[in-house]
């Protein structure tokens, strides 16, 4: 049975992806959920450097067929308001943990990897450090994708605002959200299901697509 490793497994995106896998993969896929919650199949806390290293070794040893790096941390503050601990956590979760894994991908053949990035890595963000870490992910994608074995694939997805994720539903600046939606060419935000469907395509269906970073934001970024 083929294996899929997923981080950020309790997000709406991952939940929607799991439903798609159950519906469409008739031969069955073993899903390994990785994260810091007790419900995880294998526990990792990506804010801890030792766990970043341990997860990287786990991926290399497991050599899954599919890898979905969906974890992230958005503090939502200006950098001047970050605590020292928050700075370390954001760097480890959003950048270091991903970089460590991507460095090892050239050792694993026939693995399809999708990394969750963000429009913030290209257009900036109120949270400067978050934007900087996502920009780093985008650069690494271009650097590492050409070095993979010919049977492997590495792609990223950079969503804009996702209307049904927690980081959106807990926001109180509703006027900012409304203004952003109004200036978006489609006048709509993306959904977790939409991102899950694209993730499924990149993981299981796209044959000759690698090194791409797909922007899903209703045309906001290109305007």
- Return the DSSP state at 111: -
Element (H, E) at 128: helix 128-144
Helix axes 192-200, 12-24, angle to 10 degrees: 50
The three state secondary structure string of 40-109 is CCEECCCCCHHHHHHHHHHHHHHCCCEEEECCCCCCCCCHHHCCHHHHHHHHHHHHHHHHHHHHHHHHCC
The C-alpha atoms of residue 55 and residue 148 are separated, in whole angstroms, by 19
Q: Which residues are catalytic?
A: 130
CB distance 178 to 187 below 8 Å: no
């Amino acid at each position: 049975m083929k294996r899929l490793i997923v981080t950020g497994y309790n997000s709406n995106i991952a939940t929607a992806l799991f439903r798609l896998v159950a519906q469409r993969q008739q031969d069955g896929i073993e899903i390994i959920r990785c994260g810091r919650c007790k419900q995880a199949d294998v526990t990792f806390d990506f804010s801890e450097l030792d766990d970043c290293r341990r997860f990287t070794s786990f991926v290399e040893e497991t050599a899954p067929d599919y890898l979905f790096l969906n974890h992230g941390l958005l503090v939502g503050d200006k950098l001047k308001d970050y605590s020292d601990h928050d700075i370390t956590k954001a760097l480890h979760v959003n950048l270091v943990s991903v970089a460590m894994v991507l460095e090892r991908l050239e050792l694993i053949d026939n693995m399809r990897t999708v990394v969750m990035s963000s429009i913030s890595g290209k257009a900036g963000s109120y949270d400067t450090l978050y934007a900087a870490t996502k920009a780093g992910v985008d650069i690494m994608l271009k650097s590492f994708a050409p070095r993979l074995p010919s049977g492997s694939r590495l792609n990223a997805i950079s969503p804009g605002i996702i209307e049904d994720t927690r980081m959106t539903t807990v926001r109180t600046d509703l006027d900012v959200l409304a203004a952003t939606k109004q200036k978006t060419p489609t006048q709509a935000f993306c959904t977790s299901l939409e991102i899950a469907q694209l993730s499924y395509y990149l993981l299981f269906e796209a044959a000759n697509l690698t090194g791409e970073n797909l922007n899903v934001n209703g045309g906001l970024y290109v305007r």
